[in-house]
Structure 1
Amino acid sequence: MLHVPKKGGDGGWDPRDLVEPDRAHRACYADQEVFDLEIERIFHRSWIYAGHESQIPNPGDFATFQIGRQPMIMTRAADGSIHVLYNRCPHRGAMLTNEHMGNCGQTLTCSYHSWQFKLDGKVHAIPTPDGYKGTRLSTDNPDCSMKAAPRVQGYRGFWFASLAAEGPDLVTWLGGAKAAFDDMCDRAPEGEVEVVPTCFRVIQKSNWKIFLENQLDALHPSITHGAAGKAASEVEDEIKAETGENAPLQYHYLSAFTTPIYKWDGLQTRGFKYGHCILEGYMGLRPTDPDTLEYEAVMERAYGKARTEEILTTNIHHVLVYPCLSVQAPLQQLRAVRPLGPDRTLTEIWHFRLKGAPEPIYRRSLHYFNLVNSPSTMINADDLYNFWRCQQGLESEGGDWVSFHRNAGQDPEKDGEITSVTGLSEMPMRHMFTAWTDYMGEG
């Protein structure tokens, strides 16, 4: 147990005492007791991302994921409905599957004693039923069915589950963060996206909040990733000198990290209820190459010129859906956050196709997926290294507090929405910790 501020005559403490308006105690990142409370009061009570409906397009399809410490399974039933169940057999407790995704046919079958369950979790068959005569177990007993998540809702194909029976509905809870999914789906000529089944899974040796805080930290990119950006910029210059043509767009994904700090300062972040945040601006994706022009023509045929222009000029680069998602809608990227311990976090990195869009537009998202977000790229490696260094420092006794002082008290708030006074303001970190104290205090 780390040294933390004390509260009460019994020597106990309130997690809200660990957060002040411009700083947070290191126990928020490094203490096991704090982490256990986060799992109980945040991840087991708020809406947590389950997956996209295109991961389970057919009856019998399933995909597994975690909500806090709970192994869950998302299924597609014969009638097309989607269900989220605890991945546990009610007989002896075995997980029904340890595969990430697959198709189980008409029933989920336990590999231990062959209990069978319908795709909505209801028990279908119990082997040797005569052995249960006179006991409490039978196919008529709901306790013999798989336990379902109390609440399951989707928005534009993205599905969430909550282990709490009560709370705001998904759309209310998302609030302004709906823009993450609206922006991505609206960029598809057919108004929908579909997941690319290949997913990167990375275990980061750091606290889950360090990852989320980094995503909208506009000061770090040109510092942390400057070397990779400079190398890409130099290659762009060489291509231009040798061919007279601009380098392919994917080079810009890396060279953009040479953007000077004063330009990052000109961006803006916005904070919404429940801890969600948006970073506006940053990367233009409308060159006048033939691929882009073809895509815009397809969009105009689908939406008309005015609506197409409105969609393609949406000023969003990055959305945090607190506490579980990082979404880069214009690049069809999504990273799900699955905490494993105070110093270990699993991130799942997914990308999507825009239905009806030309193949080169998908290739752009694939390039970003591999060059920026994959575990093998220098950009991700830079971040992972800094995350680890932060975690090591926070577990030391070199100091008790983490600073979020930059522009503290300067960010205006109106109608429950906070706007950063500059792009470099640490408003997103302060805003997420404001939500953290609400969750941790009231669950």
Structure 2
Amino acid sequence: MNEIETLVKDDRVHRDVYTDPKIFALEMEQIFGRTWVYVGHESEVVNVGDFVTSFIGLQPVIVSRHTDGTIHVLHNRCGHRGAIVCNQDKGNTGKSFRCGYHGWTFRTNGELLAAPLKNGYPDCYDLAKNEFGLVPIKVANYRGFLFANAGDDSHGDCDISTHLGPMKACIDAICDRAPDGELDLSGGVQKYYLLGNWKTQIENLNDLYHPPYSHESTVNEKDGRQFVRRPGDGQGPQIIDSNLKRSIWDMIDIFAFDGGHSYCGPLNMGESVQTGDPVFDDYKSALLAKHSPERVAEILVEKFHNAIFYPNLNIQLLSNHIRVIRPIAVDRTEVRVYPVRLKGAPEEMFHAVVRYLNITHSPASLIQTDDLEMFRRIQVGMKSHGTDWVVFGRGFGQDVTEGNAARGFGTSELAMRNQYKAWRKYMCGAN
């Protein structure tokens, strides 16, 4: 592990962390295999027999609603010959899953229900053991967000509250936006692949240094603003600086926490949501029916833009969507983007989110396609032997400690340094 530790310095990381397949394999074991990983949302498995398939790193899993109403996360691997049992993204299986290879059948809590021609197995086989079923994985639910931990109790964080820490406030913020206090993530998903290492996507989410350059084509040349992102906004966020002496992005703070988590402040930088939009006014009325005016005003304050729950979840508050990062290989990653429906809000708000994600995340979209090209260029550039180090020095030595958080100015690379601080701890076996 000493060799791994030398790959991360306080302000830079070695290029091998993006390109070495052996390091990638160790990440799947030490990070994804031993800490809490987001696997789905309870709104995707509302009814008994509902399921979605997901991944913990490279490990395929099933999230299912059992007959007693409990939610289970199960290894998606038959206890007989190892085939994937559930081969669909989502659906309803009734009361059981059946392996298509030899017909072994499992309850929705993972227990083996039936093995055809069972008498063919000798008495030394106890088919009631967990190893012959769909082996269960620890699962925790925080306000509908489901996290699973595939490690044993001697590794990683065994308490979801401790793992999330102050980041629970970010989940609270988006859930409280719903008049009914709950979210629905069952409204579809966009999937895309990037030709790069999974960490480049995680790094990018709170990188406020890149938008004026990577996303220059998405702004209005007259005022440097991007398009309006949601009902009620009078104008889109400022992307290009109007004052060359100080970047507007540096007016947005970055906050970093133990475990690799971080969030950045709102892009609208205090600009209030405008009234007069009929959809927004209906939404605000729905909130007022449940809360006091003071509480509604508090709920509508933009508390953050991107929140990163290391290692694989991103919540964006401005545009009501989440992003899930799935490593596939050292140079290949899948990203899933889910529009968020705020329960109790006008349906038009959800439709606006879907339209927004089509603009920003579809194959012919703005914004995300810019980032994907940069991720590809990073992966190609890492093959150069010009230098061995990737530098995250912006703002280095200027971070301010505030309670349990480190705070940096907007274009600081604090979030990335914080991710690699956690990466080094996980990779070297520290809980």
So what's the TM-score if we normalise by structure 2? 0.92
Q: Give the 5 Å matches for 1:337-376.
A: 337-376=325-364
Query: Is 2:68 aligned against 1:79?
Result: yes
Residue deviations 1:190-249 (CA, integer Å, cap 9, x gap): 000101432111111011111111111111111111112137979999xxxxxxxx9996
Q: How many Å separate the matches in 1 of 2:221 and 2:107? A: 54
Query: Is 2:264 aligned against 1:264?
Result: no
Q: How many Å separate the matches in 1 of 2:51 and 2:85? A: 11
Q: Give the 5 Å matches for 1:114-193.
A: 114-138=103-127, 140-149=128-137, 151-166=138-153, 167-193=157-183
Q: Paired residue for 2:321?
A: 333
Q: Paired residue for 1:61?
A: 50
Structure 1 residue identity aligned to 2:390: V
Task: Identify the range of structure 1 (120-129 vs 285-294) with the bigger mean alpha-carbon deviation.
Answer: 285-294
Structure 2 residue identity aligned to 1:81: T
Answer whether contact 2:64 2:109 (CA < 8 A) is retained. yes
Q: How many Å separate the matches in 2 of 1:343 and 1:369? A: 25
Q: How many Å separate the matches in 1 of 2:424 and 2:27? A: 10
Partner SS state of residue 255, structure 2: strand
Structure 1 residue identity aligned to 2:145: F
Q: Paired residue for 1:442?
A: 429
Q: Paired residue for 1:16?
A: 5
Q: Paired residue for 2:260?
A: 275
Answer whether contact 1:278 1:318 (CA < 8 A) is retained. yes
Q: How many Å separate the matches in 1 of 2:326 and 2:229? A: 37
Q: Paired residue for 1:199?
A: 189
Answer whether contact 1:228 1:255 (CA < 8 A) is retained. no
Pairing partner for 2:35 from 22, 42, 46:
46
Residue deviations 1:285-338 (CA, integer Å, cap 9, x gap): 712222222211211111111111111114211100011111102422111111
Answer whether contact 2:234 2:273 (CA < 8 A) is retained. no
Note closer, same or farther for the CA distance 1:291–1:272 as it changes in structure 2 (3 Å cut).
same
Partner SS state of residue 419, structure 2: helix
Task: Identify the range of structure 1 (223-232 vs 74-83) with the bigger mean alpha-carbon deviation.
Answer: 223-232
Q: How many Å separate the matches in 2 of 1:247 and 1:97? A: 37
Residue deviations 1:163-206 (CA, integer Å, cap 9, x gap): 11223311110012113321111000000010143211111101
How far residue 13 of structure 1 moved from its aligned partner, in angstroms, is: 5.0
Structure 1 residue identity aligned to 2:248: K
Q: Paired residue for 2:101?
A: 112
Residue deviations 1:66-97 (CA, integer Å, cap 9, x gap): 11121111110111100000001101111112
Q: How many Å separate the matches in 1 of 2:98 and 2:197? A: 36
Q: How many Å separate the matches in 2 of 1:180 and 1:202? A: 25
Q: Give the 5 Å matches for 1:280-429.
A: 280-283=265-268, 286-288=273-275, 289-420=277-408, 422-429=409-416
Q: How many Å separate the matches in 2 of 1:287 and 1:276? A: 31
Answer whether contact 2:225 2:237 (CA < 8 A) is retained. no
Residue deviations 1:145-174 (CA, integer Å, cap 9, x gap): 22111x110100010100112233111100
Identity of aligned residues (%): 36
How far residue 280 of structure 1 moved from its aligned partner, in angstroms, is: 0.6
Answer whether contact 1:54 1:157 (CA < 8 A) is retained. yes
Q: How many Å separate the matches in 1 of 2:326 and 2:110? A: 24
Partner SS state of residue 423, structure 1: coil
So what's the TM-score if we normalise by structure 1? 0.90
Partner SS state of residue 217, structure 1: coil
Q: Paired residue for 1:433?
A: 420
How far residue 416 of structure 1 moved from its aligned partner, in angstroms, is: 3.0
Where does the alignment leave 5 or more consecutive residues of structure 2 unmatched?
A: none
Q: How many Å separate the matches in 1 of 2:188 and 2:222? A: 26
Q: How many Å separate the matches in 2 of 1:278 and 1:76? A: 32
Answer whether contact 2:230 2:318 (CA < 8 A) is retained. no
Answer whether contact 1:275 1:436 (CA < 8 A) is retained. yes
Q: Paired residue for 2:81?
A: 92
Q: Paired residue for 1:4?
A: none
Note closer, same or farther for the CA distance 1:250–1:99 as it changes in structure 2 (3 Å cut).
farther
Partner SS state of residue 209, structure 1: helix
Answer whether contact 2:219 2:226 (CA < 8 A) is retained. no
Answer whether contact 2:226 2:239 (CA < 8 A) is retained. no
Note closer, same or farther for the CA distance 1:247–1:429 as it changes in structure 2 (3 Å cut).
closer
Q: How many Å separate the matches in 1 of 2:225 and 2:404? A: 45
Q: How many Å separate the matches in 2 of 1:68 and 1:430? A: 22
How far residue 134 of structure 1 moved from its aligned partner, in angstroms, is: 2.8
Answer whether contact 1:177 1:276 (CA < 8 A) is retained. yes
Partner SS state of residue 14, structure 1: helix
Answer whether contact 1:338 1:346 (CA < 8 A) is retained. yes
Residue deviations 1:119-158 (CA, integer Å, cap 9, x gap): 10011111112222434143x3443222111x11010001
Q: How many Å separate the matches in 2 of 1:73 and 1:144? A: 16
Where does the alignment leave 5 or more consecutive residues of structure 1 unmatched?
A: 1-11, 238-245
Structure 2 residue identity aligned to 1:308: V
- More helix per residue: 1
Structure 2 residue identity aligned to 1:224: S
Note closer, same or farther for the CA distance 1:235–1:330 as it changes in structure 2 (3 Å cut).
closer
Note closer, same or farther for the CA distance 1:186–1:53 as it changes in structure 2 (3 Å cut).
same
How far residue 252 of structure 1 moved from its aligned partner, in angstroms, is: 8.0
Q: Give the 5 Å matches for 1:224-239.
A: 224-230=214-220
Partner SS state of residue 389, structure 1: helix
Q: Paired residue for 1:219?
A: 209
Structure 2 residue identity aligned to 1:268: D
